[in-house]
Chain A
Amino acid sequence: QSVLTQPPSVSGAPGQRVTISCRGSSSNFGAGYDVNWYRHLPGEAPKLLIFGDNRRPAGVPARFSGSKSDSSASLAITGLQAEDEGDYYCQSSDTTLRAIFGEGTRVTVL
């Protein structure tokens, strides 16, 4: 059982805004550890979307944004596109478990 909780799925129409939540605890987010976000498509390497809570690597569109508050974090995707479909994972560190991942959220573009 993961210590980071994500919804199993979210969906939206093209052009809409969707958000993916990631709930942590006092031993990870609450302890000041950053949240990072990845997208994983079947058969491909996971791709870093957000690091350090809200920073985008070069080449990641501004449509992707991250935020964190207390023991929760979220990833927002604005202007949803068909290519955004995939599995999204939040990730952080923990005082006892080193690196931890959320269970993943499947994003579907309707």
Chain B
Amino acid sequence: QVQLVESGGGLVKPGGSLTLSCAASGFTFREYYMSWIRQTPGRGLEWVAYITSTGSSIYYADSVKGRFTISRDNAKNSVYLQMNNLRADDTAVYYCAREGDTSSWYWDYWGQGSLVTVSS
């Protein structure tokens, strides 16, 4: 069955960096577009970043553009989110999610999430 397992979350000071990883299994990873989506306290779900199957196209939400980098390693069935210059409002549970159909912008499988807390 499809599984997405995030790791790498934790407590980081404002201005710090963190890299999240998402290990995928149960499907042909290299054929799917992937995204990172976060849930911030009291503010619901927010799409963060998106990468196509080969990594040839990448998109970011304006709130993270220039600070976050999404990447993937199809040989390792993994997608990553490198987060730099973190701010308090980046505190959230970060989910990796698989896109249901190519360029459909909906997600049919999500991981359990990884908590990132930005605080001094």
Q: What residues of chain A have their CB less than 8 Å away from a CB belonging to chain B?
A: 2, 33-34, 36, 38, 40, 43-48, 51-52, 57, 87, 89, 91-93, 97-104
Contact = CB atoms under 8 A, between A and B. Distances in A.
A100 B47 contact: yes
Contacts of B45: 38, 40, 46, 89, 91, 101, 104
Given A34-B106, A45-B111, A45-B112, A101 B61 contact: no
Nearest to B48: A99
Contacts of A99: 35, 37, 47, 50, 105
A2 B43 CA distance: 9
Given A2-B44, A98-B47, A46 B106 contact: no
B31 interface: no
Interface of chain B, main secondary structure: strand
Given A98-B50, A98-B59, A99-B35, A48 B106 contact: yes
Q: Which of B62, B105, B110, B111 gathers the greatest number of chain A CB atoms within 10 Å?
A: B105
B85 to A, nearest CB: 21
Given A36-B106, A48-B107, 17 more contacts: A2-B44, A34-B104, A34-B105, A40-B39, A45-B4, A46-B95, A47-B110, A48-B100, A51-B108, A52-B104, A57-B100, A92-B105, A97-B62, A99-B35, A101-B45, A101-B47, A104-B44
A51 B44 contact: no
A38 B44 CA distance: 12
Contact of B106 (A40, A87, A91, A98): A91
A104 B37 CA distance: 15
Contacts of A102: 44
Contacts of A2: 44
A22 to B, nearest CB: 13
A101 B112 contact: no
Interface in B13-59: 35, 37, 39, 44-47, 50, 59
Interface in B45-83: 45-47, 50, 59, 61-62
